[in-house]
Structure 1
Amino acid sequence: MSQSVGTLRQQVTGDLYAEVQTFYAQQMRRVDALDIEGFADTFTDDGEVVHAGGQRQSGRVEMIAGMRANLPRYQDIAVRHWFGHLLIEADPQDEDTVRVSYYTLVTQTDREGKVSFQPTFTVDDVLVRRDGRLLTRSRVIHRDSPAAPAAS
């Protein structure tokens, strides 16, 4: 599925941009370290993830169960999630809600140091501020694919 090019209606402050970047750095270090409970703790209790294949996980308990089931895939490899090209937009109706769209690349490094790249994705998140900290309320993951050729 080809992703449309988005534009921001209003630029966010540098402080919010840095806070969102730091949030993702901490969130991804948890998942890359296979800290499943710590990663799930970066979502709201009713947080939801819609994976590129259409699978949906709702709530921390379901997320943790899904991640535990996938742990054998990550034996003997180091996984790194790389995010870039973040588009961050504050919700004009709710100062505690931030919408973020970004590209992600996942690498896997084996014991010999060989690096493999996983398919790329575009991710759309809704972050909310609860008790002064950002949490992910929803995440929708879109697998990248070539754009359809332009009609002649």
Structure 2
Amino acid sequence: MSQPVGTLRQQVTGDLYAEVQTFYAQQMRRVDGLDIEGFADTFTEDGEVVHAGGHRQSGREEMIAGMRSSLPRYQDIAVRHWFGHLIIEPDAADEDTLRVSYYTLVTQTDREGKVNFQPTFTVDDVLVRRDGRLLTRSRVIHRDTPAAPPVG
């Protein structure tokens, strides 16, 4: 589930925030550029993605196979992933682990320049530092749905 508002236990430094933003910018440029192997390389070897529909991919090889099978969907369109409103929390038990929650918007632009907006999502990642490099250990993607109106 998404992180509730107002539960941030520890503020991260500006340098760490910028590092995480840069990590995501590089990761998404790889996936948007259809660099499947490069994108998978931003995950740990046993990294896991749980998609909004519940489909789970475990390990780089499974991710690569899944992305390859999806390539025909991306013919003749430019895809862009936009991330924002990051909440970054260091893991109290492990200084090399970060929990990150953010919103994402995906756009698809065709050859004529028509932009199609995809549904929005909230994503919860666990990032780990290995040999000085950030990698995604797990990603859980939640499709956004309207909140229930307050009672009374």
- Normalised TM-score (structure 1): 0.96
Aligned-pair Cα RMSD in Å: 1.4
Aligned length: 152
Q: Which residue of 2 aligns with 1:145?
A: 145
Structure 1 residue matching 2:66: 3-state secondary structure: helix
Go from structure 1 to structure 2 and tell me whether the alpha carbon gap of 1:94 and 1:2 turns closer, same or farther (over 3 Å shift). closer
Residues 104 and 123 of structure 2 are in contact (CA less than 8 Å); yes or no, is this contact kept in structure 1?
yes
Q: Which residue of 2 aligns with 1:120?
A: 120
1:27-81 deviations in whole A, cap 9, x for unaligned? 0000000000000000000000000000000000000011011101100000000
Residues 3 and 122 of structure 1 are in contact (CA less than 8 Å); yes or no, is this contact kept in structure 2?
no
* Residues in 2 aligned to 1:123 and 1:7: alpha-carbon distance in whole angstroms: 17
Residues 103 and 122 of structure 1 are in contact (CA less than 8 Å); yes or no, is this contact kept in structure 2?
yes
The Cα of 1:92 is off from its aligned counterpart by 1.2
Structure 2 residue matching 1:90: 3-state secondary structure: strand
Q: Which residue of 2 aligns with 1:131?
A: 131
Equivalence map 1:43-122=2 (5 Å)? 43-122=43-122
* Residues in 2 aligned to 1:5 and 1:73: alpha-carbon distance in whole angstroms: 36
Q: Which residue of 2 aligns with 1:25?
A: 25
1:78-110 deviations in whole A, cap 9, x for unaligned? 000000000001111101000100000000000
Structure 2: where are the runs of 5+ without partners? Answer: none
Structure 2 residue matching 1:73: 3-state secondary structure: helix
* Residues in 1 aligned to 2:33 and 2:6: alpha-carbon distance in whole angstroms: 32
The one-letter amino acid of 2:19's match is E
| Residue 12 of structure 2 is aligned to residue 12 of structure 1 | yes
Residues 52 and 141 of structure 2 are in contact (CA less than 8 Å); yes or no, is this contact kept in structure 1?
yes
- Normalised TM-score (structure 2): 0.96
